[in-house]
Structures are given as structure tokens and as C-alpha cells.
Structure 1
Amino acid sequence: MKHFFRDLFLDMGLGDKWSAYLDVTVFTILLFGLCWAVHWVIRKIIIFVFHKLADRTKTKFDDFLVNHRVPLRLAFIPPLLIAFDAVTFIYQGFPKGEKVVTKVLMLASVYLTLTIIRRTFNTVEDYLKTKPRFKDKPIDSFTQVFMIFAWALGIFSMLAIITEINFWHFFTTLGAASAIVLLVFKDTILGFVASIQVAANDMVRIGDWITFKSYGADGDVMEISLASVKVRNWDNTITTIPTYALISDSFQNWRGMIESGGRRIKRVIWLKQKSVKFLKDEDVERLKEIQLITDYLIKRSADIQTDNEKRGVDKSNLINGRNLTNLGVFRKYALEYLRGNPALNHEMITMVRYLEPTPQGLPLEIYCWSKDKVWENYEYIMSDIFDHLMAATAQFDLELFEFSSDAVRIEK
């Protein structure tokens, strides 16, 4: 069969040279047609088998294999094997042509291997992301590292094939240029190290809310890759942060708050210190009408009166002995109001305390925990608390501090 077309062309009156060239050309075309036919048949078989398998199995792994077209890439392997076997037969007497075609087939084999590996890694990556255990892990970083090594080996293999240098000799020769390689892949190496530390120390997960002030990031982590971390900010903008910055810079991860029983409310009400006063008997009687502190005022007033009488205190002046103050009663009212709020988690710390007085007034801090940690609901709960408490200060003859009004008064 090898000399069939050559003899045919010789019988047609062509010379030995042209007959040999046309013989190789015809066999090359036939080989191409055979490879295409084999690929088409195997492709149809693989598509049928994998679709049936994907429909019958419960696991999603085979579904991801089909989605990433891994089986279709496998259909190229038999035609390549046929081509390798046929090259020696077709190019007999043409060593240079055989050498070139063999190199092309070897390069195609390396590239096909790399694409199969890449698509397989993508399949494994998508499959692991469906598992709760790996859903929030930086899987992208590890697959990218593996692919970098795979592509590096693939490129070295291609260069070794083209230059006809032994692969290991070619690879060891590059050791002399290791400093340059390290410089070129510096960010990749740093990102790889950072990805390992982030995963090992569980510093950041996909879905975590982080605040990274130096990069202007404040939102949920969308993706953790080898080179960068993508954060969707609350205004729906995307901030990209270098992965190695997670271990070199300081950032805030709100995961602990989300996993805890509540979200902290920690803000102050600024009160004028001049509005703080002792309560007279008529003031106490008026404040007893406030239900949250009625029992407290009755018991507290009785205790103070008994103690003052026991010590013979002259109450013609309020400063003598023990007394109730409008600020102290308001603090008790605020605490009882918080304890009765169903939106707060009362198993966590709830308190109302004074902070150090400042030129801007006396800060009364509200410290409690909201059950609902969703940002919108959290802000509503906190606003509702402060709306009420700020409006309630007037009932206790307390005044809220406003810098502008005080500044005008000082100027006058």
C-alpha cells in the first residue's frame, strides 16, 4: 500500500521526485481524514456515555466534567496515537519531514495534556465549592498554583522539543537563571505563600465581611485567588487587594460578630453637664409616673429617706445627705428600656455607663447587642433606641449637647 500511489503517479508519467512528494501528500491527507473520522466517532460515543452517566449518578462531579468539556478533550487522544504510528510509515524516505511532523505532534500532545489538566482542575474546583467544608476556602489559589507549575513544565517541554535538548538538561540549565525567575514570579510566590497561610490560619473565607482601610475595602469577600482578593463593597463597587496583603497588613474580619449571638451597639448620647441636678420630692413624684422606673423610684426613695433620717441629715439643702439625680435616674431608665427591648440579645452584656467628661459634654454610652446582624435591620434597631432615649431626656430635665448653640452662647 505504501507504493500504491507512488506507482500510480509513475504510471501517469510523473518523475520519481514528484511521485514521491505526491505520494506523501496524499497519505497525509488520508491520515488527516482518518484522524478526523476517528475523533468524530469517539466524540459521539463519549458524549453519549457521559450524558447517560451524568443523568444516572447522584454526584455532580460528572456533570462538571461535561460542563468543562473534559471528555471532548479526551477524544483527541486516539487520533494523536494513530498519527504518531502513521508518521514513520508515511514519511519513509523523508527524514526531515518526519522530524518536523513528529515535533508538531509532540507539541500538540503537550498542549492537549495541559488543556486536559486545566479543565480537570476547573472541574475539581467547581465540585469542591459545592461542598460545605470547602465552600469558603481559597481553592482558586491552589488550582492556579498547580496550573502555573503545569504550564511551566509544559513550556519547558515544548522548548526542549523544539531545541532538541534533553528535558532534564534543559531544565537544569535554567537553574542558573533562578534569580531572574524568582524576580519575575515574585508576586506569584508571595501570593502562593499568602494563600497557604490564609487557608491554614483560617484568616479569611469567601463570604466573610472584611474592612481593609488601607485599600478602601469594606464588604464581602467574593473571590480569593493566587494574586488577588476581590471584595464587593457595600456600594457594590469591587476592590481588588493583593493576596499577600492579607498577611502583611492589618485588616478587620467581621466573621466573629456574624457567628456570635449579636451585633454590638456602642454609641453615646452627649449631655450638657449644666443640666445635671438633684431631684426634689415633686420631681421624684412626677417621674414615678414613668412605668419602667416606678418600682425603682419607690424603693430607692424609701431607702434614701430612711438612711438620711437615721443619720439626722438636714434636708433643707438638697446637697446634704443622699439624693437622687436626674442623670442617675435617666441612666436607670435607659438600662431598663434596653432590658425590655425584644430586639436585643439579653444573654450578652447590656449596660449604660458614663465616659470621661469632655468639653463637648458628658458622654452617656449605650452598650448592648442586637439579635439581628443584618446591616439594614441593625441600623433600624439602633436608630429606634436612640430616637427614644434622646427624646426621653427632656422628661428628666436633661439637655442634649449641641456645639453650635453653646458656641453662640459663649460668643455672646
Structure 2
Amino acid sequence: MKQFNIWLFDFFKELNILDHWAMTFSITISVIVLILAAVAAQLLTRLILVSLIHKLFQKTKTDWDDFLIDRKVFSALAHIPSAFIIYAVYSFSGVEIVSTILSVIARVYFVFIFAMTAVRTANAVNDMYQTTPYAATRPIKGYIQLVQILIIFVSLIFAIAILIGKSPLGIFAGLGAMAAVLLLIFKDSILGFVASIQLSANKMLKPGDWIEMPSHKADGTVIDISLTTVKVQNWDKTITTIPTYALVSESFNNWAGMEESGGRRIKRSINIDMKSVRFADPKLLEKLSHFYLLKDYITNKQQEIKSFNEKLNVQDGDVYNGRRQTNLGIFRHYLEAYLRQNPNIHEEMTFLVRHLQPTELGLPIEIYVFSKDQRWANYEGIQADIFDHVLAILPEFDLRVYQNPSGHDVNELGRNLANLQKRTVVNN
């Protein structure tokens, strides 16, 4: 390159060009040729060497080399010949400033190649880890990103040291005075790193978990956990991004326990009109005895009540003393029997049919059970089928569901009053 530069200088001198301009033209052309040579070396390396490596690795049975190819690690290494060319031929005789600039460019180029290769290799390592069974419960993407930040930070320090001609150690020592500024700049990264360690160590969260965090309007599946953010795909397919440290400092619901338990809770109640609750008379008992879910229960319960009343010398027709069955009590037992014979209900988990506190809206009867099918659509279908049946069977027990008066109820009341007035006028 030095000889080429001298030849160019002599060539321009023979054209009767001033020494200043001859030197400028020769240096400019030499630098352009040097840049073109470096680019050509990089392209040839990628075309020949990288292509051969790719073909070789694609034939292997292991997957780790495929991840290196996908992350373009070897494409980053293909820049090394270009950097060596610039570093090897940077000196131009008599032009110190050009030599210095090219020397700096070559060394910064080496730092850039190192940083790019290291960052891509770290991504490949994370891809390799994702294929292991540990990745499902202990993601390391946050740690990988922290390593990448450190690599980029150290590379920047070395690049700055090369550009200003100082030792990197001196710059690192001077950073102590900038600690407060750095803490402010990297606040989210530091908080996120600490939070990711807590999330991973305590097994609080992993990709694939269904979480609910109302404060951030998140309700869906975790699709990514990084150093500073956690991405949640909501059920409406929108993506919510949550700061990693917010999952440690604030509360959120993780439904992974429900998914791992084998059941999904059904917790819903209906309000019974308390005016419809009454003792079961013989006619109602006779009708309900034809229900196969109630036949044995009513018979056994009646015998139990009869024995109890005989001890108290209570007669069968005595409605004020002794014990009697109620339509609500029989209905509650019917619900238990109906749910137990439902193949979609988990009998080994919590199973309750209970009364809640009566209110001005009636007496709530709550069904608290678990369905075997956890899939959302199927779960909703199971729940709907149960309450469809409950609402339809209630009149058979002479019970009514309480609901606030509607427009239809008001119209019906008006018609009844009008009919009553007509009858009154006719009778008079």
C-alpha cells in the first residue's frame, strides 16, 4: 500500500499537479482502494468460509451449531480479515495523520467485531438453553441481556479509550465519580435484574403462565421475560408490557397453580326468593320422590324425621312442632347429587353447595366446585349447562328465583289491576 501510494504521487507529479494536490489525490485514492479491499475481503470471507461452515454444520446431528448460524455469529467473524487488512496497511509514508486515523479505525473495528460476536453468541446460548427442560421454569433471558449490556458497556469504554488515546483502566477509574449518574441511567436495568433473580429463584413466574395484573391491565399469557420487561399477551390478543420490577413490588395473580392442579373453580350463586321457601307437603314429596336422584334421600329422610318426631310424641299432622323437610333443603341435596353425577365435575377437590348471607336480593345458594376441563371455552360451557339446569328445575321444587321487577312485571301488574277493577265494577 505504501508503494502504491508513492506510485500514485509520482503519477500525479508527472501530470504537473502541485505537490499538495498530488499528495491529497494519492492518499484519497489509496484510502478508497484500502476500503474497497477490506469490503471485498469481508464479502469473500462470508461467501466462501461462512458458506462452507454453514453447509458443514447443517449436516451435523446437534442443534447448537444451528443456533450459531441462525444468530449470524460466523457472519460477525467474517469482518476479521477486513480489520486485519486495515491494521496491516494503515501506514502511509510521510502522512502521519492518515496513519494515525487508520490505526484508530482498525483498533475500533476490532472492538466492534468482538462486541458483535459476543452479543450474538450470547443470544445463541439463550436459544440453546431454551431447548432444555429447565427453560420452562427458570428462564435466563434476563441474565443474557445483562451480560450483553456489560459487553457493550466495556466495548464502548475500550473504543472511547482508543479514540482519545487514553488507557481503559484510567477511564474505568474515573467512572467511580460518575456512579450516581450511571445508577440513574441504568436504574431500570438494575431493578429489572434484581427482580428477574427473585422471579426465577422463587419460581414466581415463567413463560406460558396465565397472570392477571389489573393495575397494568394485563390478563393473559406470559410470552417473554427480559431484563427490564415482561410481555403478556392478553385474551383479546393485545400485548401488555410490564416492568419486571413491578411484578415484585406489586401484587399479581398467577393462575399456574390452577392449571397444575387439574381443576378449575366454579364459584357462582343464584338468589332464591325467600317467600317461596316452605315446608314440603305430602303432595310435593310424592312428586319429588319420582326424581331418581332424590328417591332414596326423601325416603330415608322421612324415616329419620318420623323416628325423631315419635320420640317427641309429635303427630304427623302437627305442623308447629317436630321436624319437617323443606323444599329448599331438598333442592340443595338435589344440587349436590346432580353435580356428583356430572362427569365434568372434580369430586376430589373442594365440593360445596351452601347458603350465603341473606340480603334484600334474596337468599344466595352458591355452587363451589371444580371442573375437570380447564380450557376456557369448555369451562364456560360446563358452568352454563349447570346453571341452565338449575334455573329450569327450580319451579319443580316450588321455588322462585329473585330478580328486580322488570318492565314486563310492571305491565303484568297493571293488567292485573285493570282486570280487578273491571270485575269490581261488574259485581257492583
Q: Distance in 2 between matches of 1:147 and 1:57?
A: 28
- Equivalent residues in 2 for 1:9-408 (5 A)? 10=10, 13=14, 28-88=31-91, 91-135=92-136, 137-404=138-405
Q: Distance in 1 between matches of 2:302 and 2:8?
A: 125
User: Once the 2 structures are TM-superposed, how far is the Cα of residue 164 of structure 1 from its aligned partner?
Assistant: 1.2
- 1:59 alignment partner, SS class: coil
TM-score when scaled to structure 2?
0.88
Paired residues of 1:50 and 1:62 also in contact (CA < 8 A): no
Q: Distance in 1 between matches of 2:284 and 2:3?
A: 121
Gaps of 5+ in 1: none
Match for 1:271: what amino acid? I
Distance 1:210 1:356, change over 3 A: same
| RMSD of equivalent CA atoms | 2.6
Q: Distance in 1 between matches of 2:41 and 2:8?
A: 27
User: Once the 2 structures are TM-superposed, how far is the Cα of residue 5 of structure 1 from its aligned partner?
Assistant: 6.2
Paired residues of 1:338 and 1:350 also in contact (CA < 8 A): no
User: Once the 2 structures are TM-superposed, how far is the Cα of residue 325 of structure 1 from its aligned partner?
Assistant: 0.8
Q: Distance in 2 between matches of 1:324 and 1:373?
A: 37
Match for 1:385: what amino acid? I
Question: Which residue is equivalent to 1:6?
Answer: 6
Q: Distance in 1 between matches of 2:204 and 2:168?
A: 40
- 1:291 alignment partner, SS class: coil
Deviates more, 1:372-381 or 1:95-104: 95-104
TM-score when scaled to structure 1?
0.91
C-alpha distance after superposition, 1:219-246 (max 9, x if no partner):
1112222222121111222222111100
Paired residues of 1:229 and 1:241 also in contact (CA < 8 A): yes
User: Once the 2 structures are TM-superposed, how far is the Cα of residue 284 of structure 1 from its aligned partner?
Assistant: 1.1
Q: Distance in 1 between matches of 2:369 and 2:224?
A: 33
- 1:342 alignment partner, SS class: coil
Deviates more, 1:249-258 or 1:348-357: 348-357
- 1:181 alignment partner, SS class: helix
Distance 1:398 1:149, change over 3 A: same
Match for 1:54: what amino acid? F
Paired residues of 1:129 and 1:136 also in contact (CA < 8 A): no
User: Once the 2 structures are TM-superposed, how far is the Cα of residue 111 of structure 1 from its aligned partner?
Assistant: 1.6
Distance 1:5 1:257, change over 3 A: closer
Distance 1:33 1:7, change over 3 A: closer
User: Once the 2 structures are TM-superposed, how far is the Cα of residue 326 of structure 1 from its aligned partner?
Assistant: 0.6
Paired residues of 2:262 and 2:372 also in contact (CA < 8 A): yes
Q: Distance in 2 between matches of 1:32 and 1:65?
A: 28
C-alpha distance after superposition, 1:263-283 (max 9, x if no partner):
011111111112111112222
Match for 2:150: what amino acid? F
Q: Distance in 2 between matches of 1:285 and 1:147?
A: 78
Paired residues of 2:371 and 2:382 also in contact (CA < 8 A): yes
C-alpha distance after superposition, 1:201-256 (max 9, x if no partner):
11111111111011111111122222221211112222221111000111100000
Distance 1:386 1:4, change over 3 A: closer
Distance 1:183 1:48, change over 3 A: closer
Paired residues of 1:315 and 1:321 also in contact (CA < 8 A): no
Distance 1:268 1:110, change over 3 A: same
Q: Distance in 2 between matches of 1:93 and 1:188?
A: 49
Q: Distance in 1 between matches of 2:69 and 2:157?
A: 30
Gaps of 5+ in 2: 418-428
Q: Distance in 2 between matches of 1:9 and 1:390?
A: 101
Match for 2:271: what amino acid? W
C-alpha distance after superposition, 1:126-156 (max 9, x if no partner):
2322333214544332222122212211222
User: Once the 2 structures are TM-superposed, how far is the Cα of residue 33 of structure 1 from its aligned partner?
Assistant: 4.7
Identity across matched positions, percent: 42
- 1:331 alignment partner, SS class: helix
User: Once the 2 structures are TM-superposed, how far is the Cα of residue 83 of structure 1 from its aligned partner?
Assistant: 2.5
Size of the aligned set, in residue pairs, is 409
User: Once the 2 structures are TM-superposed, how far is the Cα of residue 116 of structure 1 from its aligned partner?
Assistant: 1.3
